[in-house]
């Protein structure tokens, strides 16, 4: 797998270099697909999704100078023949998965069929996540998000004791030191204490870089690792 799991996007030169390292070429020589779906669960979701797609969001992702850029809208995929969207996904150098409601995103990844495709896709495609777009790949229990964080999506059952996608073997908490009190280091430490996995808490200047079996913290900010 090739993953760059960020909190706030590609916010500094170290994260940009990590992205280039995973791509194996400059960003302006690479193609990408943007997945804005997680944003729609928020009250201002349509505007947030547009800012992500247009490259004007505060979380730099689509505006990095990609050679080509498309939009992969997960809510549309169940009504489309797979042959009309899968080739574009398979040929992209990167999937750019924006933030929003992690459980809403998880449910649509599963409903769309993308979740089933990710293990094979990520052997050759770089996955770049922002916030919930990063956390959705972890094996974090779903109840963590409904208990400790604001969630807006209507699809996920709040009593669900399952986990999100679980493609990595660690948990991830984002926006440490952010303006929202739920992202304070003290609260994130309390949340991590409920998770029976190593848990990284990262700020918006930090990312977790995964290349095969290698897991590396890339940071120009602050982060903590909590062990169960």
pLDDT at 150 over 70: no
Averaged confidence pLDDT in the chain? 92
Helix (H, G, I), strand (E, B), or coil: what is residue 95?
strand
Range of the domain at 113: 2-226
Per-residue model confidence as pLDDT tens digits over 2-45: 999 999 999 999 999 999 999 999 999 999 999 999 999 988 99
Total number of domains in the chain: 1
- Provide the pLDDT for residue 167: 96
- Provide the pLDDT for residue 151: 62
CA distance 168 to 228: 16
**Among 211, 212, 185, residue whose Cα is nearest residue 199:** 185
Ramachandran assignment for 129, one of left (phi > 0), alpha (psi -120 to 50 degrees), beta (any other):
beta
Per-residue model confidence as pLDDT tens digits over 67-91: 999 999 999 999 999 999 999 999 9
How are the residues of the chain apportioned to helix, strand and coil, as percentages rounded to the nearest 5? 35, 20, 40
CA distance 105 to 99: 9
Burial (CB < 10 A; 0-12, 13-18, 19+), residue 215, is middle
In percent, how much of the chain has pLDDT > 70?
A: 95
Neighbour count for residue 224 (Cβ, 10 Å): 16
What letters, b where the CB count within 10 A reaches 16 and e where it falls short, cover 126-143? bbbbbbbbbbbbbbbbbb
pTM metric for this prediction: 0.94
Residue 158 confidence class, pLDDT cut points 50, 70, 90 = very low
**Residue 174 belongs to a domain with what CATH number?**
3.40.50.880
Q: How far apart are the first and last CA of the chain?
A: 25
- Provide the pLDDT for residue 160: 55
- Provide the pLDDT for residue 148: 74
**Among 76, 73, 50, 45, residue whose Cα is nearest residue 63:** 50
């Amino acid at each position: 797998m090739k993953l760059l799991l960020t909190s706030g996007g590609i916010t500094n030169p170290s994260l940009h270099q990590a992205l280039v390292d995973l791509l194996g070429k400059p960003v302006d020589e690479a193609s990408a697909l943007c997945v804005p779906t997680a944003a729609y669960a928020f009250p201002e979701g349509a505007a947030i999704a547009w800012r992500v797609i247009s490259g004007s969001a505060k979380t730099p992702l689509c505006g990095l100078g990609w050679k080509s850029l498309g939009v992969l809208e997960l809510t549309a995929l169940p009504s489309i023949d797979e042959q009309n969207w899968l080739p574009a996904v398979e040929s992209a150098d990167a999937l750019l998965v924006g933030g929003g409601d992690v459980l809403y995103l998880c449910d649509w990844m599963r409903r769309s069929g993308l979740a089933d495709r990710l293990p094979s896709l990520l052997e050759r495609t770089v996955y770049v996540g922002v916030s919930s777009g990063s956390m959705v790949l972890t094996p974090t229990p779903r109840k963590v998000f409904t208990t400790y964080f604001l969630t807006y999506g209507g699809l996920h059952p709040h009593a669900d004791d399952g986990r999100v996608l679980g493609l990595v073997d660690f948990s991830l908490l984002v926006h440490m030191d952010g303006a929202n009190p739920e992202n304070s280091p003290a609260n994130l430490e309390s949340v991590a204490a409920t998770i029976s996995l190593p848990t990284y808490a990262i700020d918006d200047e930090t990312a977790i870089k995964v290349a095969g079996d290698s897991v590396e913290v890339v940071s120009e900010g602050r982060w903590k690792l909590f062990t169960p």
